[in-house]
């Protein structure tokens, strides 16, 4: 869990050496949008406004992803659950599957830092590389370093929408931290520390080690 732009996706990518199955609800939605299905079109409207995709659609897509999927090394869920209803359903799924949640990581970032990060974020639509105009600019303006594609700004990365996403996070998602704290599963980290250090701290906190493939 984490506020928008806290680096959930980057952290999940940095944990790939654990060989766990990674799923990002935001990525599932963006994939659905590209396919232009009726569900994809509905999702696009909601995401563009910076609002959460309705629970029934989120739960439908996530359930479809989970169904029948097994992973000896477990799962990393990035951006799900984000509402009370999603958390309750997820607890039920785990019970049905005979699996348990082992940790909930919350990445925290202030609103002003979130706006700074996201309004200057640019993304390569082809290979997904993420740039920041001030801190990590591409070598050649507007072009991806690795594939040369024209970089784009996510539709929901404009200031007004970022602020709405942050407010929704505080109202609907942040309170879930209590649910996981009560279960003794919550660990909170500042998302202001450099990514490599954050990844190292996560490995240390949970006593993790890379898994040979
Ligand atoms: P961020 O966390 O930076 O907002 P994500 O890629 O995780 O980026 O999510 C992008 C958007 O996708 C969210 O603003 C929201 O509209 C939608 N979304 C992602 N996960 C969920 C979820 N679990 N429930 C509802 N909407 C979601």
Tell me whether residue 2 is in a domain.
no
Tell me whether residue 142 is in a domain.
yes
pLDDT of residue 157: 94
Structure tokens that stand for 162 in this block: 């970022």
Q: What is the CATH number of the domain that holds 87?
A: 3.40.50.300
Can you say whether residue 75 is alpha, beta or left, with left for phi > 0 and alpha for psi between -120 and 50 degrees? beta
Contact 151, 145 (CB under 8 A): no
* Minimum-distance ligand 1 atom for the alpha carbon of 4: 3
Whether 8 is a known active-site residue: answer: yes
Q: Measuring CA to CA, how many Å separate 90 from each of 7, 53, 146, 178?
A: 22, 16, 38, 16
Q: Is 15 in the pocket of ligand 1 (CB under 6 A)?
A: no
Question: Measured in angstroms, how far is the CA atom of residue 66 from the centroid of ligand 1?
Answer: 18
Question: Measured in angstroms, how far is the CA atom of residue 25 from the centroid of ligand 1?
Answer: 6
Tell me whether residue 17 is in a domain.
yes
pLDDT of residue 86: 98
Q: Which residues of the chain fall below pLDDT 50?
A: none
User: Which residue's C-alpha comes closest to atom 9 of ligand 1?
Assistant: 26
Question: Whole domain around residue 88: which residue ranges?
Answer: 8-205
Block residue for tokens 């594609």: 149
Tell me whether residue 14 is in a domain.
yes
Beta bridge partners of 136: 132
Catalytic residue, chosen from 44, 117, 121, 122, is: 121
Tell me whether residue 130 is in a domain.
yes
In sequence order, which residues have a C-beta less than 8 Å from that of residue 210 and are 6 or more positions away?
Answer: 17, 18
**pTM, rounded to two decimals:** 0.91
Tell me whether residue 211 is in a domain.
no
pLDDT of residue 135: 85
Whether 69 is a known active-site residue: answer: no
pLDDT of residue 169: 97
Number of domains in the chain: 1
How far is residue 124's CA from residue 126's CA, in Å, rounded to a whole number? 5
């Amino acid at each position: 869990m984490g506020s928008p732009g806290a680096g959930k996706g980057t952290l999940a990518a940095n944990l790939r050496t654990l060989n766990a199955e990674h799923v990002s609800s935001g990525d599932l939605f963006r994939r659905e949008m590209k396919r232009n299905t009726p569900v994809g079109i509905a999702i696009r409207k909601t995401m563009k406004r910076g609002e959460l995709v309705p629970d029934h659609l989120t739960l439908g897509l996530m359930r479809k992803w989970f169904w029948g999927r097994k992973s000896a090394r477990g799962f990393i869920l990035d951006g799900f659950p984000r509402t009370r209803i999603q958390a309750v359903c997820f607890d039920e799924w785990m019970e049905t599957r005979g699996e348990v949640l082992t940790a909930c990581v919350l990445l925290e970032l202030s609103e002003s830092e979130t706006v700074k990060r996201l309004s200057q974020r640019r993304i390569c639509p082809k290979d997904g590389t993420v740039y920041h105009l001030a801190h990590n600019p591409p070598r050649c303006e507007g072009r991806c370093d690795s594939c040369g594609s024209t970089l784009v700004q996510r539709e929901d990365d404009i200031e007004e929408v970022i602020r709405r996403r942050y407010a929704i996070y505080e109202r609907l998602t942040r309170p879930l931290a209590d649910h996981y704290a009560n279960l003794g599963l919550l660990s909170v980290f500042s998302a202001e520390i450099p990514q490599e250090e954050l990844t190292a701290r996560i490995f240390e906190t949970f006593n993790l080690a890379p898994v040979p493939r």
